[in-house]
Structure 1
Amino acid sequence: FVFLNAETDAVAVVYRRADGNYGLIEPVLNNNGG
């Protein structure tokens, strides 16, 4: 599930792991274009 984090104003992804738990991916962006 892709969403916009209201606290950080950044895009993040929540996903269900094979073990049934959830994981969170928060990309780290810098000011150099990526």
Structure 2
Amino acid sequence: SGKFSSDRTIAEYAKDIWGLEAVTVELQGKKVR
């Protein structure tokens, strides 16, 4: 927990609610993680 927890919060929030895990990658146009 060195960086802003918002990074993980948003990621979990989106993944939990909509599940934008794969959607985010497509929006970026490249594999982020």
Normalised TM-score (structure 2) = 0.17
Q: Who wins on radius of gyration, i.e. which is larger? A: 1
Hey, which of these two has a bigger chunk of helix by percent? 2
Normalised TM-score (structure 1) = 0.17
Highest RCO, 1 vs 2 (Cα 8 Å, sep ≥ 6): 1
